[in-house]
Amino acid sequence: MDDIINITDKGYLDNEILYEILWNREEDYTENDLRSFLRTVACNAMIVGHTPVDGVKLINDKQLIVSSSYSQGKKEYIELDLEEKIKDTKDILKMVKQLN
């Protein structure tokens, strides 16, 4: 958690643990890794991008991958309602909008 809090103007490139958290793809970590990370940062779910998907993809009901410019398929974004209780990614999925 300190690594995340203490990101400096130098960024995260010299911090291997933080770099891996930010850039690993779903095949690089386990469901247990994901749940452990979310517990550490006190979150129920996470949203990531920069991973080629067609629209959105749910991972273990705790991670939502949103399409990015690398995708050849649908482009999506999330209109996050901060007043809604989010238990898992299914709650976030209701907030996904298609980019035209």
Once rounded to an integer, what is the mean pLDDT over residues 29-33? 89
pTM (2 d.p.): 0.75
> What per-residue confidence (pLDDT) applies to 69?
64
The answer to which of 42-51, 54-63, 64-73, 85-94 has the lowest mean pLDDT is: 64-73
What percent of the chain has pLDDT above 70? 87
DSSP states of 15-77? -HHHHHHHH--GGGS-HHHHHHHHHHTT-S-EEE-SS--SSEEEETTTEEEE--TT-SS--EE
Tally of CA atoms within 13 A in the half-sphere of 3 that contains its CB: 13
Q: What is the CA radius of gyration of the chain?
A: 14
